[in-house]
Structure 1
Amino acid sequence: MDLSSLLSPDCTRCAVAGTSKKKVLELIGQLAAPRLSGTTSFDVFESLLNRERLGSTGIGLGVAIPHGRLGTANKPVAVLMTLADGIDFDAIDNQPVDIVFALLVPEEEHEQHLQTLAAVAQRLNDKSCTRALREASSDKELFDLFTDNGSG
């Protein structure tokens, strides 16, 4: 899967000072909304928050993959950020989260949503990938590391 078709440089942030899960979800909304015509940052935040209420998207090893479906979205959009300090995300292993990959998809794209989540989870399960992401020192480096599939 070509992850660069989902993630854009303007939705990639390195070493964000995230103080809480709520603040991180709000920032994701601010970054993603301009890429989703007819969608506000609050719509994105609400979608992510509603999903988190079903159970944390903190998958362990410092990684969270918050995701949501939006009736107003016309294409999938992703946001990737590393956090300057790990935050409590109610992860399954109770460890602080410092890598967040958010995915927002159109309401009707159930199958694509699941396939994309699986591809992202597989990528973020690779310890060499997450190590490199944590060591990135700029938004551009973080974007390039995530989208080049480790080939460079």
Structure 2
Amino acid sequence: MKLANLLTPERIILEMTAGEHWPAIVELIDHLVSCSTLPGEMREEILAALKIREEQVSTGVGYGVAIPHAFSEKLDKVITIFGRSNRGIDFESLDGKPVHFVILFLVPKKDYHLHLQTLAAIAKMFTNAEIRRRLGEAGCHQEILDIFAGKPPKAAGMA
């Protein structure tokens, strides 16, 4: 499963404003609500589920990446959002380093197995230093989607 298939331009934040763990998650959820991807009436339930998950162990997995995720019986499809922070977010990561890329996803409880596939795909992609470098340098939403789709970088000077 390609991350590009789970994202749209409106579900990419090029520069997050939050500088800490929990406010970053709230910023992402509020963005999903504001772009009508997540119904507003589900906001508190989803935040509560994410809070429980984050209290178990930080989803800051290292390499400057965090993958917060939760389940809901009210969802009928996976919802994903990507946020980037050039200055870094204190995410209480396992390696103690700031997070620059946050991929938050919400999974229907009935599709629990998708959560493992999605986590594995994200983790595999973000172990690649070149992918992380390109995501950090990407100037627009489409460029980020192209990276997630596995498209090669455009040659310098070409449109």
- Tell me whether the two structures share a fold, i.e. TM-score over 0.5: yes
User: In proportion to residue count, which structure has more strand?
Assistant: 1
Q: TM-score, normalised by structure 1?
A: 0.89
Query: Which stretch shifts more, 10-19 or 93-102?
Result: 10-19
Equivalenced residue count is 151
Q: Name the counterpart of 2:142.
A: 140
Q: Identity of counterpart residues, as a percentage?
A: 31
Q: Which residue of 1 aligns with 2:150?
A: 149
Question: Aligned partner of 2:143: which letter?
Answer: E
Query: Comparing 25-34 with 115-124, which one deviates more in the overlay?
Result: 25-34
> C-alpha displacement at 1:145, in angstroms?
2.1
Equivalent residue for 2:87, pick from 54, 75, 85? 85
How big is each residue's C-alpha offset from its partner over 1:29-57, in whole Å with a ceiling of 9 and x where there is no partner?
12334224575333332222211011000
Segment drifting more, 115-124 vs 30-39:
30-39
What secondary structure sits across from 2:13 in the alignment? Answer: strand
Check whether the contact 1:17–1:85 (CA below 8 A) recurs between aligned residues.
no
Q: Residue 128 of structure 1 aligns with which residue?
A: 130
For structure 2, which runs of at least 5 residues remain unmatched after alignment?
154-159
The correspondence of residues 45-84 of structure 1 with structure 2, limited to 5 A, is 45-84=47-86
Summarize the Cα distance change of 1:140–1:45 in structure 2 as closer, same or farther, 3 Å threshold.
farther
Structure 1 position 4, deviation (Å)? 2.4
* Paired residues of 1:6 and 1:76 also in contact (CA < 8 A): yes
- Mapped to 1, the partners of 2:146 and 2:13 lie a distance apart of 12
Partner secondary structure for residue 107 of structure 2: strand
Quote the residue 2:105 is aligned against.
103
The residue type equivalent to 1:53 in the other structure is: E
Residue 88 of structure 1: CA displacement? 1.2
2-structure distance, mates of 1:61, 1:4:
20
Find the counterpart in structure 2 of residue 32 from structure 1: 32
Q: Secondary structure in 1 aligned to 2:95?
A: coil
Q: How large is the RMSD of aligned CA atoms in angstroms?
A: 1.7
Corresponding letter in the other structure for 2:12: T
Bigger Rg, structure 1 or 2: 2
For 2:14, what is the secondary structure of its paired residue?
A: strand
| Cα separation, 2, equivalents of 1:104 and 1:39 | 15
Q: Which amino acid aligns with 2:83?
A: M
Counterpart amino acid of residue 89 in structure 2: I
User: How much has 1:139 moved relative to structure 2?
Assistant: 2.9
